[in-house]
């Protein structure tokens, strides 16, 4: 055989283009990148449920009349908004370039699975939230070793890991090669999730104590908890996820990004179609009760998530705050989570109303605090309403 050189080039979707960002995350291609991330990322798993949660259309015409809803569904970033309760879709709206069958990354909303898994382990007395991470992960470095599990759940520690998306070299971007969202600088880089997490250090001369009541938001916190879940339960994180998918009754697939060893990227690797995004929220509204009498999570732990002090994540309006608690965000009677670049899921645990919102922020950083606040305030308004008049489709 003629030993000619075999030519290759870096994958164009994953190589760094500018501002230390790959093509799929650049503002001009982010909208397309978000709906294709499930097949852009280098490593992944796919989970499908055998049983699909039936959804009935019982649209409520009053929802679209809400001023904040009108503002957000007509915004250029908008992709989809669904509102549901029990097994009814009360409202469903898509942008012209989006549909009910379009998968999109849910980014950090993936973190909410950890609430279910940790809650179940607490209920079974398998994990103690007052123990430190090193008691479960003896090889963890100083960035987490002395942190209590509860503080990691509440984004209540400080360490050297940063998540400032206005900084092109923030730790969370440097984390991306581990789970295949970008190419590493060195083609021989084959670090897996646990190895990366074990390398995180404390800030030199500082303890891990959060000296304020504000959240120190770090996606690595959730990934550390994912490793803890595997170690203490003796069950792979992917098996925990499959059980949750089967309980939720997703119609399409849950696409989950992973590292090279198929460890799910539990801090942000999920992708769902809009109706399954709603079904994800409905699983929480039922306190973890799923199709075919399946059960994940803990009702008690979910209830405690609302009363747990947590940390202040964002001020929504005068004297009204969004808090971070037990791997979720919370405000009043509802829990939820945001996703980088314009997604949010809100679940009212008292009245059962769920609202799921997909959009794509097209700023350089993928962040826009005013837009994000408008988005969350809209969902807060929706899930706190009492929709008594249901118009059948």
DSSP-assigned letter for residue 318: T
Q: Using CB atoms within 10 Å of the CB of residue 212, give its burial: 0 to 12 exposed, 13 to 18 middle, 19+ buried.
A: exposed
Indicate the fold that domain 16-383 takes in CATH: Beta-lactamase (3.40.710)
Give the end-to-end CA distance of the chain in Å, rounded to a whole number: 67
Q: Return phi, psi of residue 371, to 5°.
A: -65, -45
Q: In angstroms, what is the C-alpha Rg of the chain?
A: 20
User: Of 179, 47, 37, which Cα lies nearest the Cα of 104?
Assistant: 37
Which tokens is 276 given? Answer: 């399954």
pLDDT at residue 388 in the model:
54
Q: Indicate whether 389 pLDDT > 70.
A: no
Q: Return phi, psi of residue 50, to 5°.
A: -75, -30
User: pLDDT above 70 covers what percent of the chain?
Assistant: 98
The 10s digit of each residue's pLDDT in 244-268 is 999 999 999 999 999 999 999 999 9
pLDDT at residue 187 in the model:
87
- Domain chopping of the chain, boundaries: 16-383
Q: Quick check: 154 and 310 in contact, CB under 8 A?
A: yes
Q: Quick check: 284 and 302 in contact, CB under 8 A?
A: yes
CA–CA dist 55, 273 (Å, integer): 14
Report yes or no on whether pTM surpasses 0.95: yes
Q: Go through the chain and tell me how many residues it has.
A: 393
User: Of 116, 115, 108, 153, which Cα lies nearest the Cα of 270?
Assistant: 108
Under the banding of pLDDT at 50, 70 and 90, the label for residue 1 is low
Residues 6+ apart with CB under 8 A from 187: none
The 10s digit of each residue's pLDDT in 48-101 is 999 999 999 999 999 999 999 999 999 999 999 999 999 999 999 999 999 999
Which tokens is 137 given? Answer: 């992960």
pLDDT at residue 2 in the model:
65
CA–CA dist 131, 352 (Å, integer): 33
The 10s digit of each residue's pLDDT in 336-385 is 999 999 999 999 999 999 999 999 999 999 999 999 999 999 999 999 99
CA–CA dist 188, 198 (Å, integer): 19
The 10s digit of each residue's pLDDT in 130-160 is 999 999 999 999 999 999 999 999 999 999 9
């Amino acid at each position: 055989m003629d030993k000619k050189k075999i030519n290759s080039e870096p994958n164009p979707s994953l190589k760094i283009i500018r501002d230390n960002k790959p093509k799929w995350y650049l503002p001009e291609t982010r909208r397309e990148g978000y709906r294709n991330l499930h097949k852009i990322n280098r490593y992944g798993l796919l989970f499908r449920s055998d049983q699909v949660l039936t959804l009935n259309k019982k649209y409520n015409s009053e929802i679209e009349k809400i001023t904040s809803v009108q503002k957000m569904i007509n915004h250029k970033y908008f992709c989809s908004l669904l509102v549901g309760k029990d097994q009814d879709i009360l409202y469903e709206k898509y942008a012209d370039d989006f549909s009910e069958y379009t998968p999109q990354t849910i980014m950090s909303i993936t973190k909410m699975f950890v609430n279910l898994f940790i809650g179940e382990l607490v209920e079974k007395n398998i994990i103690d939230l007052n123990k430190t991470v090193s008691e479960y992960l003896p090889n963890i470095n100083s960035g987490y070793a002395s942190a209590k599990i509860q503080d990691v759940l509440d984004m209540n520690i400080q360490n050297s890991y940063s998540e400032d998306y206005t900084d092109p070299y923030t730790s969370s971007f440097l984390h991306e090669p581990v789970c295949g969202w970008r190419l590493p600088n060195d083609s021989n880089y084959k670090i897996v999730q646990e190895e990366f997490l074990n390398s995180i250090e404390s800030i030199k001369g500082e303890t891990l104590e959060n000296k304020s009541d504000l959240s120190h938001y770090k996606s690595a916190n959730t990934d550390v908890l994912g490793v803890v879940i595997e170690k203490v339960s003796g069950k792979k994180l992917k098996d925990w996820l499959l059980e949750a998918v089967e309980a939720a009754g997703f119609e399409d697939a849950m696409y989950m990004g992973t590292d090279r060893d198929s460890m799910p990227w539990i801090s942000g690797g999920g992708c769902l179609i809009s109706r399954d995004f709603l079904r994800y929220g409905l699983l929480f509204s039922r306190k973890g009760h799923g199709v075919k009498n399946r059960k994940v999570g803990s009702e008690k732990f979910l209830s405690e998530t609302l009363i747990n002090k947590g940390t202040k994540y964002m001020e929504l309006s005068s004297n009204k705050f969004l808090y971070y608690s037990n791997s979720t965000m919370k405000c009043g009677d509802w829990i939820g989570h945001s996703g980088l670049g314009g997604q949010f899921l809100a679940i009212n645990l008292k009245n059962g109303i769920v609202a799921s919102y997909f959009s794509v922020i097209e700023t350089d950083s993928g962040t826009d605090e005013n837009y994000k606040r408008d988005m969350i305030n809209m969902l807060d308004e929706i899930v706190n309403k009492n929709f008594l008049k249901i118009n059948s489709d």
